[in-house]
Amino acid sequence: MLVFEIDMDRRTFLGGVLGAGVATAGMPGRIPMGLNTYCLRALRWHDAQLLDYCAAQKLDAIFLQDSLDPKKDDPAHWKWVRGRAKELGLHLETGGSSLLPKDPSEMDAKMAMFRRNIERAAGMGAPLVRTLLASDRASMPPGPVEKHMETAIGMLRKVRAQAMDAGVKVAVEVHKDLLAREHRIVVETAGPEFVGTYLDTGNPVFVMEDPMQTLEELGKYALTLHLRDSVVYEHPKGIAVQWVPLGEGTVDFKAIVAKAREICNPLHIYIKPITGRIPYVHPIFDDGYWKGYSDVRAADFARFLALAKKGRPYEGHVVIEDLQNRPVPEPFVAAVQYQQREHMERSIGYARRELGLGVRG
């Protein structure tokens, strides 16, 4: 059984797993830019269409996430995608779904899927495979966060040989599940020689964390960086958060990119606007709510609160598409498709113009 403390000091690892070395070199010059295909899911495009779209946008990379292609599980298709990306001059990254089984009976199936995702990433020529613990804290199995971290670490260690033999690193996404320091422990304990971070700036606000703090904590382990903006603001019931197009929220992305340049190893940055969802309110005045966040430190929450005090509700036009797992009504489909593409292109424009991202274009 793996034993550790949540507030473990980094020195615990210096004589152990960090022996593999994670040297931070920084990122001078223009950082290559791509997009995350999940943001265009309403268009129902197959992989070929997504690849061609990225090339047409003069991007440097594509992150093929949650592919809707009917051939997505066919090794012959993986080889085709690899070749097509190379023809278009696109760096390609990809990945799969969550790690944690809802109960022990699902463990074998989860592990089989994890291994298959590593095979798929290798077949497509991707240097990494994306995974995550759970979609959010409420989706975790029963038990404390520490228990789920132990489970995830054990699952990661089981694929170490496979991943390293395939030349693929496992990128654990910063999602709505762990705090940054907890995520760091998972990476360090599993082994940073084959595990790193898929750093998404949109998810930390859902665990009441300033995205800049997340970057500061995990930047040295980042294998891929995905930019998603949020409005964060005070609400009569607590603190509200909502995803918005890049550059239109509360987060200072000029500071985010500057910090990434300083502390991250060379990587690709992906534009990932997921919009059209209603604001989520952290009911911080409800004592019961804090039972799920007993691991939040006062100083860290104060930093998140300071971010909220600078923010305000989003005032842009938006079509709400997230209908609590119900399908979008047919009359609204075209509007959602237009919105996803327009918000993506608007965000890419901001990243080029204001953040200086991208080698092409």
Strand order in the sheet with 238-244: 229-235, 238-244, 280-282
Provide the sign of the torsion angle of the four alpha carbons 176, 153, 122, 127, taken in this order.
positive
Residue 136 has a CB neighbour count (10 Å cut-off) of: 14
SS3 of residue 1 by DSSP: coil
Q: Token pair of 250, please?
A: 């509360």
Q: What confidence category does residue 138 fall into, taking pLDDT thresholds of 50, 70 and 90?
A: confident
Which residues make Cβ contacts (< 8 Å) with residue 52, sequence separation at least 6?
88
Instruction: Judge residue 36's burial from the number of C-beta atoms within 10 Å of its C-beta, 0-12 exposed, 13-18 middle, 19 or more buried.
Output: buried
3-state class percentages of the chain: helix first, strand second, coil last, to nearest 5: 45, 15, 35
pLDDT attached to residue 141: 87
Q: What is the mean pLDDT of residues 210-220?
A: 98
At residue 200, what is the residue type? D
At residue 259, what is the residue type? K
Whether residue 355 lies inside any domain: the answer is no
- For the cut 50, the answer to whether the pLDDT of residue 1 exceeds it is no
Q: Which residues of 295-325 are buried (b: 16+ CB within 10 A; e: fewer)?
A: beeeebbeebeebbeebeebeeebeebeeee
Which residues make Cβ contacts (< 8 Å) with residue 280, sequence separation at least 6?
206, 240, 241, 242
pLDDT tens string 322-350: 776 788 888 899 999 999 999 999 999 99
- For the cut 60, the answer to whether the pLDDT of residue 248 exceeds it is yes
Q: What is the mean pLDDT of residues 274-296?
A: 95
Whether residue 344 lies inside any domain: the answer is no
Whether residue 20 lies inside any domain: the answer is no
Whether residue 211 lies inside any domain: the answer is yes
Q: What is the mean pLDDT of residues 103-113?
A: 96
SS3 of residue 168 by DSSP: coil
pLDDT attached to residue 25: 62
Provide the sign of the torsion angle of the four alpha carbons 40, 121, 186, 135, taken in this order.
positive
At residue 252, what is the residue type? D
Whether residue 308 lies inside any domain: the answer is no
* CA-closest candidate to residue 51, choices 20, 88, 18, 23: 88
Q: What is the mean pLDDT of residues 89-117?
A: 96
Which residues make Cβ contacts (< 8 Å) with residue 161, sequence separation at least 6?
none
Q: Tokens 């084959």 label which residue?
A: 194
Whether residue 347 lies inside any domain: the answer is no
**CATH number of domain containing 188:** 3.20.20.150
Looking at the structure of the chain, the number of domains it has is: 1
Distance CA 132, CA 174 (A): 7
Distance CA 203, CA 303 (A): 16
Q: Out of 17-31, 49-63, 314-328, pick the least confident.
A: 17-31
Whether residue 361 lies inside any domain: the answer is no
SS3 of residue 231 by DSSP: strand
Q: Out of 11-25, 33-47, 154-168, pick the least confident.
A: 11-25
Cβ–Cβ under 8 Å, residues 272 and 202: yes
For residue 265, give its domain range: 27-228+246-274
Whether residue 219 lies inside any domain: the answer is yes
Cβ–Cβ under 8 Å, residues 137 and 177: yes
